[in-house]
Amino acid sequence: MAGTLLSLALTLLGLLLVTFIIGRVMPIDPVLKVVGDRASQAQYDAAYIAMGLDRPLIVQFLTYIGDVLQGDFGRSISTGQPVSADIARVFPATLELATLGTLIGVVIGVPLGVIAAARRGGIIDQIARVVALVGYSMPIFWLGLMGLLIFYGILGWVGGPGRQGILYDGMVPSVTGMVLVDSLIAGDWGAFRDAFSHIILPASLLGYYSLAYISRMTRSFMLEQLSAEYITTARVKGLSERGVIWGHALRNIAIPLTTVIALSFGSLLEGSVLTEIIFSWPGLGSYITRGLLSGDMNAVLGGTVVVGVCFVVLNLFSDILYRFLDPRSK
């Protein structure tokens, strides 16, 4: 466990070093973003010193580490608010979207991968391969636009862009920041149905990409298990094929599959930028993109650090779960 914590600390330190370097090499003058183009040289110099940019780089880096550890990412130029407050406001939207997308990927992807492996070469196996191939090949922005055109514009089956319609926007008290959960807490089923109609299409889009990865990895893990000797022994003893597949083989791939699901969840948290832009989803991806377009490096680096920390935490969680599920790894 001590080795894991040391690895975690070094990973976080590396993450902070990378983001610090990015903030220094980007061709954007942070001082000009604060004082404006019409500021005098004296005003520029005063802001330069106030921002600590006159100090040696090692001092700036240590100060940066101390600020981040306290949750201080600076102030956003775009919103005028602390970046930490902005992230606390937008992150629940991304978390809600990624969580539902991951659930869709797991609920469909795992059984699909298991059945594809059990019936290798069959029609379901071929379908699973095509699903995975399309999931990896199709641009997400194209699928998003086509989904909006067909299911919202033509069929009217889902809500449009955004998290809620105008009628329900701001009507549910924010407790967790996740509209589906908050509407359930408030007992407002109308708001819940409206929020669900808005999230289901982007979540399904992310879920499809998660499904493609999870089903492919599940199939690979299952094929390896089904060729093992203990599976042959179980069949010789007369155990039903259902018991062999779902009771023995699937249980034995739970450990690596947990890591795959955790990484898939982290990928959706980090990779939902285009989806959030297409669906006007006010999450972390949209926030980072707006910050990048406006030269708001505090917002960009703060969001990047949060995404990196999420990956590190998910890896740590999967490692702990791995040790729990497999006592031999302790």
CB 77 within 8 A of CB 298: yes
Averaged pLDDT, 123-128: 87
Buried b (16+ CB within 10 A) or exposed e, 144-159: beebbeebbeeeeebb
Using CA atoms, how far apart are residues 248 and 230, in angstroms rounded to an integer? 9
Q: What angle do CA 239, 242, 246 make, to 5 degrees?
A: 110
Task: Note whether 221 and 185 are within 8 A (CB).
Answer: no
Q: Are 255 and 325 in contact (CB under 8 A)?
A: yes
Give mean pLDDT, residues 261-272. 82
pLDDT digits (tens, 9 = 90+) for 273-330: 788 888 988 889 889 888 888 878 888 888 888 888 888 888 777 777 777 766 555 5
Give the predicted TM-score (pTM) of the model: 0.84
Across the range 146-153, mean pLDDT stands at 89
Dist. CA 180–CA 195, nearest whole Å: 6
pLDDT tens digits for range 79-118: 888 999 999 999 999 999 999 999 999 999 999 999 998 8
Tell me if 280 sits within 8 A of 164, measured CB to CB.
no
Q: pLDDT tier at 162 (50, 70, 90 boundaries)?
A: confident
Predicted confidence (pLDDT) at residue 1 exceeds the cutoff of 70: no
Q: Is the pLDDT of residue 121 over 60?
A: yes
pLDDT band at 165, cuts 50/70/90?
A: confident
Summary mean pLDDT of the chain: 84
Per residue in 13-50, pLDDT (tens digit) is 888 888 888 777 777 777 776 777 777 778 777 877 87
pLDDT at residue number 192 = 92
**Rounded distance, CA 198 to CA 274, Å?**
16
